[in-house]
Chain A
Amino acid sequence: MTKKEKKALWRILAGLVLFAAALLLPLTGVARLIAFLVPYFVVGGGVLKEAAGNLLRGQMLDENFLMSLATVGAFAVGEYPEGVAVMVFYQVGELFEHYAVGKSRASIASLMDIRPDYANIRRGEELVQVDPETIKVGDIIVVKPGEKIPLDGTIISGSSMADTAALTGESVPRELAEGDNAVSGCINLTGLLEIQVAKEFGESTVAKILDLVENASSKKAASENFITKFARYYTPVVVACAALLAFVPPIFVGNWSEWIHRALIFLVISCPCALVISVPLSFFGGIGGASRRGILVKGSNYLEALSKAEFVVFDKTGTLTKGSFDVVGVYPKEGTQTQLLTLAALCESYSDHPISKSLKKAAGELPKTADIGKIEEIAGHGVQAEINGKVYFCGNEKLMRREQIEFETPSQPGTVVYLAEAGRFLGAVLIADEPKADASVAIEGLRKAGIRKTVMLTGDAKAVGETVGKTLGLDEVHAELLPGDKVDWVEKLLAQTSEQGKLVFVGDGINDAPVLSRADIGIAMGGLGSDAAIEAADIVLMDDKPSGIVTAIAIAQKTLKIVKQNIIFALGVKFLVLILGALGMANMWEAVFADVGVSVIAIINATRALNTKNL
């Protein structure tokens, strides 16, 4: 509790004692009025002061003013105990609201406590702790066991285990050895590491994640906007109704104090606070809970959209499959297997594509004498490379067709790399990629979560795509697509979704930025260590497990369910008490419950969104 909250608590307690005394003492007339006015001012003095201030500044419909008016009105019609009780409950509710919000704010902040406080740098013989922001690229920092890795860089000496749980939600530590990339925000567990810094603090993973999470709530969900808009009209309308209720019926039926009493009930219920606070609190909790599971959501709007996901479209390589390709067959038409493999590896020597990497891996050390000339990439087809003065074409089926080369396809399914020189087919290399361990569980989970269709888009050969699709149980597979075709397919699928339904695209964020932004929600996997993924997507899964999508959808659905419960519950109770109040069947106690009690319950319900452990 903060100092301010403690002070409020003491005032309430003192007020309660005085209130009880006033109720018990057998006083009458002015003495009784004074006995009730004392606790009233002790508890509500601040509210009255603010109300007066707001009135002077032209803020008529502020909650302090409405509460003051309602309670002063209660005194005016002779209902002294009600006047005090309403004020006391209002203050209790305010205090609780303050406390609960502060609490969840703090617990979410602690979830995101990945900011490194210092970095160790060598000055002569000594290790000095400095602000990570002052470290420059190329500096060498030392990270001791138990410390946070403050900046991104390459490990130049030492080996250790790193705890990535704060970033990924994954409890199994990662191994770190010389030459590996160290990611900021992880905790170094066992060994001393020396790291050569690769990025300044502002550009490092930890700074990017913090920035993303801290700004997440500025993108508001439609239901949040609905509520604030609703609140803008709700208060004036209820206050207007109160005025009508106070002055119109008594003209015809008389009994002024009864009708004014009913109007005061309206004033007590006219604050929209329960709604206005509980909706953003639920989203904030959902986003915070998701980040604890290694799922970064860039805004409440994305969480809301995700709960309405209908189609989930996956990229294949690196998303559903491991992306670690291995050469499984070499089929030379001319020359030996080694010659073919070496040539293919030379053609792809400048590429970082997983297929190129696997070719290089299989070929081993490349001949240093090879003269690599111009290499031109043909997007979606392969490369045209000049090696030792000869022009080679290395790529997929489409490339062979484009160059009008006759080729032979190996009989097993897999990704095939064809090699040709000057119109002559030299041979083919077969590469296969395995689905990730949890991919089929993820697809199954999505179906259970109510996803209507799962689709895979891939640039790979049809046979490969379909084999993977069948193994994992996907509804649709579209293969042999160029990057542009993927966007077209997403547009086609978008047209098939229902009006409310959303399309999710899941990729690795490397080559699919246009698709990620075209989909209703773009999810990038493997955010840890990939800036591209963090920037391109709306939701980032820090690790690269497809089952994270199921968790993300479950969190989104739970959050939205809580939001809906709160809206329906708060509005329902308020309208019910308004109607009962107008009919003379509710008293101020019930009105206070409809205001403060509902706030408290809605806030408690909202904090459930933070708990994502069992999703």
Chain B
Amino acid sequence: MKKTFKLQDLDCANCAAKMEQAIKKIDGVTDASISFMTQKLVLEAEDSRFEEILQAAAKACKKVEPDCTILLK
């Protein structure tokens, strides 16, 4: 499943790259891409565990930049 999420308060380009890297390492993630310019995360991950993976991704982002949150629609 591939979904796009908006990121709030993503303030630094290097952090975006770090987050992308961290999310890609999460087990079950097929692909992840963070665009600093559009403030968006495109996450592609296993269907059955998508929710769980998304939570892990949110945690990974918090670790890099505590202000930044993934807006869950």
> Chain A residues in contact with chain B, CB under 8 A?
53, 57-59, 62-63, 98, 101, 105, 108, 214-215, 217-220, 228, 231-232, 271-273, 276-277, 280-281, 284
Contacts and interface: CB of A to CB of B under 8 A. Distances in A.
B20 to A, nearest CB: 8
B33 interface: yes
A390 B43 CA distance: 59
B42 A63 contact: no
Contacts of B71: none
A232 B21 contact: yes
20 contacts: A57-B66, A59-B64, A101-B36, A101-B37, A214-B38, A214-B40, A217-B37, A217-B40, A218-B33, A219-B33, A220-B33, A228-B21, A273-B14, A276-B14, A276-B17, A277-B13, A280-B35, A280-B37, A281-B37, A284-B38
B63 interface: yes
B13 A280 contact: yes
B42 A273 contact: no
A105 B13 CA distance: 14
B13 A276 contact: yes
B63 A273 contact: no
Contacts of B40: 214-215, 217-218
Contact of A277 (B4, B33, B36, B42): B36
B52 to A, nearest CB: 22
Contact of A284 (B37, B42, B63, B66): B37
Contacts of A281: 37
A284 B37 CA distance: 7
Given A53-B66, A232-B21, A63 B37 contact: no
A217 B17 contact: no
A28 B24 CA distance: 54
Contacts of B63: 57-59
Interface string B1-28: 0001000000111110100110000000
- Please classify the interface of chain A as helix (H, G, I), strand (E, B), loop, or mixed, using the class held by over half of its residues: helix
A217 B12 contact: no
Chain B binding site: helix, strand, loop or mixed by DSSP? mixed
Contact of B14 (A98, A215, A219, A231): A231
A314 B40 CA distance: 35
A98 B37 contact: no
A294 B35 CA distance: 23
Nearest to A220: B33
B7 to A, nearest CB: 12
Contact of B35 (A98, A217, A232): A217
Contacts of A108: 37
A218 B42 contact: yes
Interface residues of B, number: 19
B61 to A, nearest CB: 12
A89 B52 CA distance: 42
B37 A105 contact: yes
A159 B48 CA distance: 52
Contacts of B37: 101, 105, 108, 217, 280-281, 284
Interface of B: 4, 11-15, 17, 20-21, 33, 35-38, 40, 42, 63-64, 66
Contact of A98 (B11, B20, B33, B42): B11
Contacts, number: 56
Nearest to B66: A53
A59 B33 CA distance: 21
A231 B17 contact: yes
A399 B50 CA distance: 54
Nearest to B36: A280
A220 B21 CA distance: 14
Given A215-B42, A219-B33, 19 more contacts: A59-B63, A59-B64, A105-B37, A105-B38, A108-B37, A217-B38, A217-B40, A218-B4, A220-B33, A228-B20, A231-B14, A232-B17, A271-B14, A273-B14, A276-B13, A276-B17, A280-B35, A280-B36, A281-B37
Contacts of A232: 17, 21
A401 B13 CA distance: 64
B21 A63 contact: no
Contacts of A228: 17, 20-21
B8 to A, nearest CB: 12
Contact of A63 (B12, B35, B36, B66): B12
Interface centre among B11, B35, B42 (most CB of A within 10 A): B35
Contacts of B35: 217-218, 280
B32 to A, nearest CB: 10
A108 B35 CA distance: 14
Contacts of B4: 215, 218
Contacts of A220: 33
Given A218-B35, A280-B36, A280-B37, A273 B66 contact: no
A280 B33 CA distance: 13
A57 B60 CA distance: 11
B25 to A, nearest CB: 13
Contacts of B13: 273, 276-277, 280
Contacts of B64: 59
A281 B38 CA distance: 10
A231 B20 CA distance: 13
Given A59-B63, A215-B4, A218-B42, A272 B14 contact: yes
A101 B20 CA distance: 20
Contacts of A231: 14, 17
Nearest to B37: A284
Give the residue among B12, B40, B64 with the most A Cβ atoms within 10 A. B12
Nearest 9 A/B pairs, CB to CB: A228-B17, A277-B13, A284-B37, A217-B35, A276-B13, A218-B33, A276-B14, A218-B42, A217-B38
Contacts of B15: 62
Contacts of A271: 14
B53 to A, nearest CB: 18
A219 B36 CA distance: 12
A172 B4 CA distance: 36
A277 B21 CA distance: 16
Most buried by B among A53, A59, A281: A59
Q: Taking each of A98, A218, A219, A277, which has the highest tally of chain B beta carbons within 10 Å of its own beta carbon?
A: A218
A62 B17 CA distance: 12
